Amino acid sequence: MNKAIIGKKLGMTQIFSPDGKVIPVTVVEAGPCPVVQIKTKEKDGYEAIKVGFEKVSEKELNKPEASLFVKHLKIDPCKILKEFRVDDIGAYKVKDVITVETFAAGDKVDVVGYSKGHGFSGVVKRWNQHMLMASHGVGPIHREVGSMGSISSPSRVFKNKHMPGQYGNERVTVQNLEIVKVDVARNVLLIKGAIPGPKGGIVTVTNTVK
C-alpha cells in the first residue's frame, strides 16, 4: 500500500453532488498521525511504519510508552498505535506526520474497523433464524435453536451448527469505497457509503487492493 491513515468514525450524513444527487457519506476524523517507528528487514525482518493517533495524557501511559514519546521522540503521546506495510519505506522518517492531504477526492480505499458488539445473542438475532411455531405444545421457548440434528447416528452435533453466542465486535473490512471529499482544515474524510463500527470507533483507511 502507499496510502494509509488511522481515523475515528464520527457518523453519517449526506451531501449533494453538482448535478443535485444525494450522496450518503460517512464522516471520518483522520489523523494527524505521527510516524513513531520505522521497521526494517535488517532489524525486524519486515518493512513497516508504526503510526500513532489521538492524543492522550502522559499519565495514562505505561513507562515504556512514556519513555518512547516523552524522552526519545519528544512528541505528544498517542493513544492508538498501528502498523502499515507501505511500498516505499524510504519515503517516511520518524516524526513525519501523515494527514488527510495524503488522499484526494475520487480515491478508492479500503476501510477496516470492528463491528458493533451485541454481546451474547440467540440464534434469531445472531443467524436470522425463524422462530418456532407460536402454537400450543411448542413452547415454552419459541426463540430457541430447535433440532440439533440426527438422533442415534452419529449422536453428536455437527460442526458449524448455528448456535447462540457472541455476536458482533469482530474485524470487518469494506473494500473499494470512494472518497467524496477531503476537508484538510478539519482533518476529515467523507467516504461514500457505510463503514463498520459504532460512532467513535477506530478505523484504518488505506488505498484499495482491488
Report the CATH number that the domain containing residue 89 is assigned in CATH: 2.40.30.10
User: Does residue 58 sit in the same domain as residue 106?
Assistant: yes
Tell the burial category of 116 from Cβ atoms under 10 Å away from its Cβ (0-12, 13-18, 19+).
middle
The three grid cell numbers given for residue 38, joined into one nine-digit string? 520505522
User: Does residue 94 sit in the same domain as residue 127?
Assistant: no
User: Does residue 25 sit in the same domain as residue 77?
Assistant: yes
**Average pLDDT rounded to a whole number, residues 39-66:** 87
User: Does residue 142 sit in the same domain as residue 79?
Assistant: no
Q: Has residue 139 got a pLDDT over 80?
A: no
User: Does residue 41 sit in the same domain as residue 108?
Assistant: yes
The 3-state DSSP class for residue 195 equals: coil
Share of the chain above pLDDT 90, in %: 56
The 3-state DSSP class for residue 129 equals: coil
Query: At residue 16, what are phi and psi to the nearest 5 degrees?
Result: -110, 135
- The 10 Å Cβ neighbour count of residue 27 is 20
User: Does residue 104 sit in the same domain as residue 71?
Assistant: yes
Q: Distance between alpha carbon 166 and the CA centroid of its chain, in Å?
A: 18
Asked if 100 and 185 touch (Cβ cutoff 8 Å), the reply is no
User: Does residue 110 sit in the same domain as residue 157?
Assistant: no
**Average pLDDT rounded to a whole number, residues 159-168:** 93
User: Does residue 153 sit in the same domain as residue 182?
Assistant: no
- The 10 Å Cβ neighbour count of residue 205 is 26
Asked if 173 and 182 touch (Cβ cutoff 8 Å), the reply is no
User: Does residue 9 sit in the same domain as residue 57?
Assistant: yes
> How far, in Å, CA of 61 to CA of 56, rounded?
8
Cβ neighbors of 79 (< 8 A, separation 6 or more) are 52, 53, 54, 55, 56, 60
**Average pLDDT rounded to a whole number, residues 1-27:** 92
Q: Distance between alpha carbon 17 and the CA centroid of its chain, in Å?
A: 27
The 3-state DSSP class for residue 68 equals: helix
The three grid cell numbers given for residue 104, joined into one nine-digit string? 484526494
User: Does residue 87 sit in the same domain as residue 184?
Assistant: yes
User: Does residue 113 sit in the same domain as residue 124?
Assistant: no
- The 10 Å Cβ neighbour count of residue 180 is 19
User: Does residue 150 sit in the same domain as residue 82?
Assistant: no
- The 10 Å Cβ neighbour count of residue 197 is 21
pLDDT tens track for 31-46: 899 998 899 889 989 9
Number of structural domains, the chain? 2
Q: Has residue 166 got a pLDDT over 80?
A: yes
Q: Which domain holds residue 150?
A: 120-168
Query: In terms of pLDDT, which residue wins out, 143 or 75?
Result: 143
Q: What is the pLDDT of residue 103?
A: 92
